[in-house]
Chain A
Amino acid sequence: MAALLQVEDLNVSIPVPGGLARPVAGMALHIGAGETYALVGESGSGKSMTALALMRLLPAAARLRAARLVLQGEDLLALPERSMRRVRGGRMAMIFQEPMLALNPVLSVERQIVEGLALHRGLSGAAARAAAADLLAQVGIADARRRLDSYPFELSGGMRQRVLLAMALAGDPALLIADEPTTALDVTLQDQVLGLLRRLQGARGMAMLLITHDLGVVAEQAHHVGVMYAGELVESAPRSAFFAAPFHPYSRQLFLALPGQGRGRLAQIAGHIPRPEETLPGCRYAPRCPRAFERCRQEAPQWRVVHGEHRVRCHLAQSDPGYALAPPSTQAAAAPSAASGTVLRARGLKVHFALRRGLFGRRLLRAVDGLDLELAAGRTLALVGESGCGKTTVGRALLGLTRPTAGTVEARGGVQMVFQDPYASLNPRMRIASTLLEGMEARGLAPRGGRADVVAGLLAQVGLPHDAGERFPHEFSGGQRQRIAIARALAVRPRILICDEPTSALDVSVQAQIVNLLKALQAETGLAYLFITHNLALVSELGHGVAVMYLGRIVEQGPAREVLERPRHPYTRALLAAVPRLHGEARAVAVLPGEPPSPLAPPTGCAFHPRCPQAQAACRVREPAAVPVGPEHWAACLLLE
């Protein structure tokens, strides 16, 4: 049977000053009806550009060339723009990463869905409204008729992604292109949306092109996997074959860079992805490949069959047939550093914000509501929770950026912070040296030795070249910027470092570098980290202890291994279950329905009871207290009392 979508030798080129950029080169893929093809790669690999090229929605300057671009037997390249408009949304629809940006804020949900229904199915009036309500119900929105009149700002993040999905389904497409559909969502919501996608796909027999950087999502969702690197597809395989034995050295490095597999030091990929306008005679991955040999640098590899449908673009497939069987190398785990003495202690910490509402009305937002924390020197405490649970506010309160409403914070030694977004955390108009020294100058600490020595010392500590001090932030990549941010915090010799999602804006291989750096610094200087994250895999990689937060309170706390292996609170269990796994089958139903309630109106009793699968009558009235469930391990749940 001919595949639904057939793409052969797809190329996108954009003229840039001083050459021709090729964000996509020689792309080939086939997707059958009802099949999911996952396109994996780091930022800059050309995944999104491929999706836009399929829709013929490339920027005006870009040129599209392909040997074959056929959807359901129709050549898309030959179609005039007018007919192409019917294909877009009709036979091929797209959903985007950022649900808030993809919805028009001034149109009601109904107007946005009906637009597609009118264009592609010719519906209008009451029929269109009924069809729109039906679509909303299909994507799992309760009370669909009422929601039709809502505006995007009235919807939560997960709801918006569902509305987007309903809009994409309006034209009854044969192919759905999902560009990082769950990257902006929390793990429990991701679980819900992925489950929904699987269900819809099964019911409609729809083909799906899933673009993602998350191997876990691929493992749960895909039938077939394609790995992209620097504009080229380097490996293509059925899911099971790919996850059993990834072949291409780049694919293997991606797996080794994943945190949370208990391998100790994470694999890092040296160097950086080549720019789209760089032309290389050989394999584009060769400059970074640990297995590269002479031929890789001179001759671009052709497709080779590894086994069956598993194909790869690598010279190793020919020269070293045994390579496929060699297991990925592992390294010994680092010894945990010794703990000694508490350096940070928070007691009964509360942060409430008064929100103005109307002229006189006031409402209290309880961002953090009674929180106890203890952090020992040389240890890492991971603070985990969904977005909006108050994690970041805790960090800001401990740092003194936000004044706590109640409670005490005692810190022995300075506290500093590493922020989430390395692009926003460095002043673009200040030299790196000035940025690094700012803290010392503000505190009146005289730099020992000259300024230059201090700067060079700090840069060496985070593994940056010594001449970086004279440069400006825009000359550095995201990972390097995050190193600079760490160096800036280290400048004032803090004993506690609060890391607020420091790797969530970075690619997985760069994340590995930062995680390794943080570990090395801890072993070297005995720093204590409060590591705020939503990524549970990082917790097992870095954390000695874990605190799980829900609606401004800690619901479970304990040693990392203990909590991850034997979670006691239903919420912790749900969080852990929602993480996509590399091996094993996908779940049929979402582990945790709904979304966290607003901290403006927290539920009575146990805050988690509306979503808790084990909730009982008592949970609605009584607030649970901390129950010890193991050594240094407690959980706040009535079921444990």
Chain B
Amino acid sequence: MSLPFRPVVLWTDALLFVLLTVLAALAFWTARNPQWRRPWARVGQSPLAVVCLGVLGAYALIAVLDSLHYCPRLPQAVPGQPAQYSDTVRSVFDALTPDLWRVQEETYSAPLAAHLFVRQPQTLPDGQVVRVYPRLRIAAGSAPPGQRWGDIARRTLSGAAAGLAVGALCVGLLAWRCGRVRGARAWLAAAACGQAGWPVRTLAATLAVMFVLVGVIAALAPAYHVLGTDKVGQDVLYLTLKSIRTGLLIGTLTTLVTLPLAVLLGIAAGYFGGWVDDAIQYVYTVLNSIPAVLLIAAAVLMAQVYIETHVRMFDTNAARADFRLLFLCLILGMTSWTTLARLLRGETLKIRALEYIEAARAFGVGHGRILLRHVLPNVFHIVLISTVMDFSGLVLAEAVLSYVGVGVDPLTYSWGNMINAARLELAREPVVWWQLVAAFVFMSTLVLAANLLADVVREAFDPRRGGA
């Protein structure tokens, strides 16, 4: 008996899960430490933050599902032979959303359309060739063209109803979980009046909106391309959702490279001073004086050459694209640690002169312990704030770099690649607008949520407001 699939762990998948583990550990530690729990509780009390966390959570869920990769088993030609697996790498997300990628069209089609956007030559039974707007493959067998809008409305309503039902179920579960002390009903009543101590109503509304959206899309997807199709007939909604993983990975894995460098070097430079400081400053001054785009372009081109000369190392297209993505994260990280390091150096210089450090030294406490117990906790809010703020910048950087052509692999789904493709589409008459709009809306939602959350976090950790 063999598995119906062969699991594939790409490098970025592995690193993403390492990151999730680290985050879970940090969350656990925070929950046990009142000094850090307090500001986070303040974040949780802000309705804006709850909305942002809801949105980011949905994005993260999609990214995680899209990071569980496997190769499906091929149908066995001869019974009894060892199982053969496909070369195509799929993810759990793909398995959950077959409606979005199974049916591929000829070329462009508008959102919710029944016919292609461009005329195609068609041979009539009498041998005559005419140019018509052919019926979409996905629409075959569904409602006849005349009843399309009625069909869409019906599907939308039923999808929304299903979404609301699931949302209500979630709120019920929440009430059951939170209301164990005073009873679920009393808790619900309090929450409805906004007296639960945290913005339950906002969370409920956010969940409802998201579930309704998912419900509507799920109801429409079997018969329509909700956001249309691109030049080669791929569903644009699918492209956009697949791009989430790329965007999030760039935003987070880069941080994984940046943080250790910035924290270690920044604090060491500030604390030890002298030649250590000089050496570290020279390194980042040199790094900063090279234009970042140039450095990234050179590094990505080198990676490309490496992939082409070591074809055997990368057995699938996915592995190749993944290597390039990882390399991009690495090089983005190498060019972006300097800002945070400089900030930390300055802050450490200030803290080093404070009397509690002197007092620790007077007790004979070692450098390592001073850095760990006295310096790091007092600069940690800077690390946190700058990490959350850098995230959105990195997502945008990916889009820009891919547009310029030095970003991710052209085969990788990413907002940058979508926007790059939209360059030609906008020059068409009539204009093909949906790919650009879809990429833009999804990317802006992510960046906006991250930025707003960063604001709330910064405010909650601001020491002048009695934070942290």
In the complex the two chains form, is A400's CB within 8 Å of B365's CB?
no
Does B355 touch A at the CB level, under 8 Å?
Answer: yes
Contact between A424 and B354, CB atoms less than 8 A apart: yes
Which B residues touch A442, using CB under 8 A? 360, 363-366, 369
Is residue A338 contacting chain B, with contact meaning CB distance below 8 A? no
A287 CB-CB contact with B under 8 Å: no
Known contacts A425-B356, A429-B378, A472-B35; A400 and B363 CB within 8 A of each other: no
Return A61 CB to nearest CB of chain B, in Å: 15
Contact of A429 among B35, B358, B361, B362 (CB under 8 A): B35
Q: How far, in Å, is A518 (CB) from chain B's closest CB? A: 17
Give bound CA distance, A249 to B160, whole Å. Answer: 74
Count of A-B residue pairs with CB < 8 Å: 58
A78-B377 Cα distance, complex, nearest whole Å: 52
Residues of B within 8 A of A84 (CB): none
Contacts of B77 in A (CB 8 A): none
B-side contacts of A416, CB under 8 Å: 362
Judge if A419 is at the interface, Cβ distance under 8 Å.
yes
Q: Mark B372-408, 1 if CB is under 8 A from A, else 0.
A: 0110011000000000000000000000000000000
Task: For B359, give its contact among A417, A429, A443, A472 (CB under 8 Å).
Answer: A417
B362 and A399 form a contact (CB under 8 A): yes
Interchain CB contact (< 8 A) of B373 among A399, A430, A472, A485:
A430
Q: Which of A453-488 contact B (CB under 8 A)?
A: 472, 474, 485, 488
Shortest Cβ distance from A477 into chain B, in angstroms?
15
Nearest Cβ in chain A — how far from B88, in angstroms? 51
Are A421 and B363 in touch, CB under 8 angstroms? no
Docked complex Cα distance between A428 and B359 (Å): 14
Contact B356 A426 (CB under 8 A): yes
A72–B378 CA distance with the chains assembled, in angstroms? 52
Q: Would you call A401 and B362 a contact (CB within 8 A)?
A: yes
Do A488 and B359 touch across chains, with their CB atoms under 8 A apart?
A: yes
Interface residues on A, range: 20 to 34
Q: CA A399 – CA B362 in complex, angstroms?
A: 7
**CB–CB B377/A429 < 8 A:** yes
- Please name the residue on chain B nearest to A419 by beta carbon: B355
Q: Is the CB of B365 within 8 A of A438?
A: yes
Q: Is residue A44 contacting chain B, with contact meaning CB distance below 8 A?
A: no
Q: Could you tell me the distance between the alpha carbons of A429 and B357 in the complex, rounded to whole angstroms?
A: 13
| Chain A positions 379-432 with a Cβ under 8 Å from a chain B Cβ | 396, 399-401, 416-417, 419-421, 424-430
Q: Which A residues lie within 8 Å of B373 (CB)?
A: 427, 430, 438
Given A427-B378, A428-B378, A430-B373, check contact A420 B355 (CB 8 Å). yes
Chain B residues whose C-beta falls within 8 Å of the C-beta of A438 in the assembled complex: 360, 363, 365, 373
Which residues from B are CB-within-8-Å of A430? 373-374, 377
Residue of B nearest to A420 (CB): B355
Q: How close is B436's CB to chain A, nearest CB, in angstroms?
A: 44
Which one of B35, B356, B377 lies within 8 Å of A424 (CB-CB)? B356
A424 and B355 within 8 A (CB): yes
Cβ of B359: which chain A residues have Cβ within 8 Å of it?
Answer: 417, 419, 425, 485, 488-489
On whether the beta carbons of B362 and A400 are closer than 8 Å, the reply is: yes
Most central of A401, A420, A429 by chain B CB within 10 Å: A429
A89-143, CB < 8 A from B: none
Q: In the complex, what distance in Å separates the CA atom of A435 from the CA atom of B358? A: 13
Contact of A628 with B by CB under 8 A: no
Q: List the A side residues contacting B463 at CB < 8 Å.
A: 428
Within 8 A of A (CB), among B33-67: 35
For B354, B358, B362, B369, which residue has the most chain A Cβ atoms within 10 angstroms? B362
CA distance A218 to B396 in the complex (A): 63
Chain B residue nearest in CB terms to A488: B359
List residues of chain A with CB within 8 A of the CB of B364: 442-443
Cα–Cα distance between A425 and B358 once the two chains are bound (Å): 8
Assess the B363–A419 pair: CB atoms within 8 A: no
B35 to A401, Cβ gap below 8 A? no
A472 to chain B, nearest CB (A): 7
Known: A430-B373, A442-B369. A425 touches B362 (CB 8 A): no
Of residues 335 to 365 in B, which have CB atoms within 8 Å of A's CB atoms?
Answer: 354-356, 358-365
> A400 contacts which chain B residues (CB < 8 A)?
362
- Tell whether, in the assembled complex, residue B356 and residue A427 are in contact, meaning their CB atoms are under 8 Å apart: yes
B337: min CB distance to chain A, Å: 24
Task: Give the shortest distance, in Å, between A458 (CB) and chain B (any CB).
Answer: 14
What chain A residues lie within 8 Å of B354 (beta carbons)? 424-425
Contact across chains for A401 and B363 when beta carbons are under 8 A apart: no
The chain A residue with its CB closest to the CB of B375 is: A427
Contact partner of A427 (CB less than 8 A), chosen from B361, B362, B366, B374, is B374
Q: For residue B385, give the distance in angstroms from its CB to the closest CB of chain A.
A: 16
The residue among B354, B355, B361, B374 with the most chain A CB atoms within 10 A of its own CB is B355
Question: Which residue of chain B is the closest to A440 with respect to CB atoms?
Answer: B363
Known contacts: A401-B358, A421-B355, A429-B35. The answer to whether A439 contacts B377 by CB under 8 A is no
Q: Provide the residues of chain B in CB contact with A472, threshold 8 Å.
A: 35
Give complex CA distance A420, B353 in Å: 13
Q: What residues of A have a CB within 8 angstroms of the CB of B374 in the complex?
A: 427, 430
> Given known contacts A429-B378, A430-B373, is B358 in contact with A439 (CB within 8 Å)?
no
C-alpha gap A429/B361 in the complex (Å): 17
Is A12 part of the binding interface, using a Cβ–Cβ cutoff of 8 Å? no
13 contacts across the A-B interface (CB closer than 8 A): A396-B358, A417-B358, A417-B362, A424-B356, A426-B356, A428-B378, A428-B463, A429-B35, A430-B374, A442-B363, A442-B365, A442-B369, A489-B359
Give me 18 other A-B pairs in contact (C-beta within 8 A), A424-B354, A428-B463, A442-B366 excluded.
A399-B362, A401-B358, A417-B358, A421-B355, A424-B356, A425-B358, A427-B374, A427-B378, A430-B374, A430-B377, A438-B363, A438-B365, A438-B373, A439-B363, A442-B364, A443-B363, A472-B35, A492-B363
Binding site for B on A (CB under 8 A): 396, 399-401, 416-417, 419-421, 424-430, 435, 438-439, 442-443, 472, 474, 485, 488-489, 492
- What 4 pairs across the A-B complex have the smallest Cβ distances? A425-B355, A439-B363, A419-B355, A429-B377
